[in-house]
Structure 1
Amino acid sequence: MSITDAYEIISEKLITWATNFIDMLPNILVAVIILILFYFLSKLARKITGKVFGKVSSNVSLVKLLGNTISLAIVVIGLFFALGVLNLDKTVTSLLAGVGVIGLALGFAFQDTAANFMSGIFLAIQKTFKVGEIIQSNGYMGVVKYINLRATIIHTFQGQEVILPNKMVFQNAIENFSDTNRRRVDLSCGISYGDDLDKVKEIATKAIQGSDFLSKEDQVDFVYTEFGDSSINFDLRFWLKDTSQSTYMHARSEAIVKLKKAFDENDIMIPFPIRTLDFGIKGGEKLNTMLKSKMD
């Protein structure tokens, strides 16, 4: 092949490409316009999503992620439309097939990550708990320090930080001690069988009433619960005006001190385990005989 023949072939190809490009110019222009329109539509959708979900959830990272996801989805749809205008249907089909295969592979590879992600979304939408609230979940109790799309971070009262995957939090029971702004102390105790039950109830109730930590809306509740082995047991229940763990612990401690002091002042006995040794039973040796033999 001579240089002249090669030149003619290249020229024909370039002319053909130029002709096709000129023929496609209207479609290319329409495709570009479609992409621009969908781009601005994606920005508008992101802004609207931020406002709408911002009212539903206080999780900023979740709101941003949802806005970005919706924005990206709109851009991808616009890209498919643009490719369709350019008669690149086979390219669109290939892209969709590739996205499907990749999505399936990623779905199997990141099952737990996806589960935590979706659980984080549901937790944020449902507003089960918020940052700063006291919760108990999966055996851990503490203050919620942070909520992201993968895990919930709890600062326990012992000083540790526990990272709980959102899947575990979402699928298991959650105790929220701050949501209702109410928290109760249940104090169990027992008195001897020789004490006056009505008197004990009156003294115990008065000992707790008027304390600074008590809620003004509720009364102190006193109930006898059972006949124990060496005592008649009761529960003393009272509500706190503050749900913090510090208030709870100090209120419980102060209630124990007040109750013990009131019982001591009124000669009411709180039984404790007593072991009785009987040396006079059949087959045994009496105490005085045993002591005399020791002295001899």
Structure 2
Amino acid sequence: MQIIDILREQINEMAAGVIASLPAIAVGILVLVLTWLVARGAGRIAGAIIGKAELRPSLRGLIDRLVRLAVWMIGLFTAAVVVIPDLSPASLVAGLGVGSVAIGFAFKDIFENFLAGILIMLRKKMQVGDTIECEGVLGTVEHIALRETYIRHFSGELTIMPNSMLFMNPVEIWTDLDARRYDVMVGVSYDTDLDAAEAAIRKAVQSVGHVIADRPIQVLAHEFNSSSVDFHVRWWAPSSGAATLENRDQVIRAIKRELDAARIEIPFPYVTHTFRERVPMGSNPGEAA
């Protein structure tokens, strides 16, 4: 009977405590409702303020989320203090400090990608629609989120890259400017008139429609190779994603056609064998000896 009496007293005390705290709980719920309304209003106000600035959409979304997050943190802390009067800022900070160490180790990669995403959004370079190459991944930036970036390959596949990889590794942005310089190596045989070969190559490059006419076309004798004299050919064309591959294809085809028309040989590697002794030319090596 004593155990039942003890349990009954404890239940009565708990019920009395819950009833006594009902007003505080109601006020806490009201604070949360007000926090939700204020967060929505703050997000709209922030959107209206930054709407006049020239910011990328992903950065605008980030600012909106941070404003709402700040409002919710203040609202949750206020509601917690109302429901639990003994809770103080010092005790809350101390608790967060102890917990943040364990959370930091457990979610290190998530926080790293989150911070990298914020820094990437703050950059002026690499926006949605740019063609980039990083760590062997080549494609068009389709979406930049807080933790990852979506890159669409020219062949249609989608690669989701962690933002920390894009932040800590070199990123080559193909479409940073409207035009970029391309280059290709062209070899001609040693008995070719190099001036005639240069003229033919230059004419071929100029005939391609994508080549920018007011940018220089360079046809430079580069080196003596094993079977050819190599020219380093450079030209400028628009930097428009997959069109860069088509542009190179058209230039290489035009050079081949022009060199064929001028009867200039593009050699393949020649191999010359030298023997110390005379090689028998007869059908039976024994008879020739």
Q: What letter matches 2:284 in structure 1? A: S
Cα distance in 2 for partners of 1:267, 1:291 equals 37
- Number of aligned positions between the proteins: 266
Answer yes or no: is the 8 Å Cα contact 1:58–1:124 preserved in 2.
no
Q: CA deviation at 1:193?
A: 1.7
1:188 counterpart residue number: 185
Verify: 1:103 aligned to 2:104, yes or no.
Answer: no
Verify: 1:57 aligned to 2:56, yes or no.
Answer: yes
Report 1:254-273 matches (<5 A).
Answer: 254-273=250-269
1:204 counterpart residue number: 201
Q: CA deviation at 1:33?
A: 11
Cα distance in 2 for partners of 1:118, 1:33 equals 33
CA separation of 1:131/1:34 partners in 2, compared to 1, >3 Å: closer, same or farther? closer
Verify: 1:165 aligned to 2:157, yes or no.
Answer: no
Report 1:210-289 matches (<5 A).
Answer: 210-245=207-242, 247-278=243-274, 281-282=275-276, 284-286=277-279, 289=280
Q: What letter matches 2:168 in structure 1? A: Q
TM-score (norm 2): 0.77
Give 1:290's match in structure 2, choosing from 271, 281, 284. 281
Q: CA deviation at 1:169?
A: 0.6
Answer yes or no: is the 8 Å Cα contact 2:208–2:254 preserved in 1.
no
1:119 alignment partner, SS class = helix
1:291 alignment partner, SS class = coil
Cα distance in 1 for partners of 2:188, 2:145 equals 50
Q: CA deviation at 1:112?
A: 0.7
Answer yes or no: is the 8 Å Cα contact 1:41–1:74 preserved in 2.
no
TM-score (norm 1): 0.75
Q: What letter matches 1:262 in structure 2? A: E
Report 1:120-199 matches (<5 A).
Answer: 120-199=117-196
- Unaligned 5+ runs, structure 1: 1-9, 19-24
Q: What letter matches 1:178 in structure 2? A: T
Q: CA deviation at 1:173?
A: 0.7
Q: CA deviation at 1:265?
A: 1.7
- Unaligned 5+ runs, structure 2: 1-11
Q: Give the greater-gyration-radius structure (CA).
A: 1
Cα distance in 2 for partners of 1:134, 1:191 equals 34
Superimposed CA distance per residue, residues 179-198 of structure 1 (whole angstroms, 9 cap, x where no aligned partner) = 21223321111112211112
2:191 alignment partner, SS class = coil
Q: What letter matches 2:267 in structure 1? A: P
CA separation of 1:216/1:74 partners in 2, compared to 1, >3 Å: closer, same or farther? farther
CA separation of 1:109/1:270 partners in 2, compared to 1, >3 Å: closer, same or farther? same
1:290 alignment partner, SS class = coil
Bigger mean CA deviation after superposition, 174-183 or 50-59? 50-59
Cα distance in 2 for partners of 1:256, 1:62 equals 45
Bigger mean CA deviation after superposition, 262-271 or 57-66? 57-66
Q: CA deviation at 1:119?
A: 0.5
Answer yes or no: is the 8 Å Cα contact 2:40–2:68 preserved in 1.
no
Answer yes or no: is the 8 Å Cα contact 2:39–2:67 preserved in 1.
no
Cα distance in 1 for partners of 2:177, 2:57 equals 19
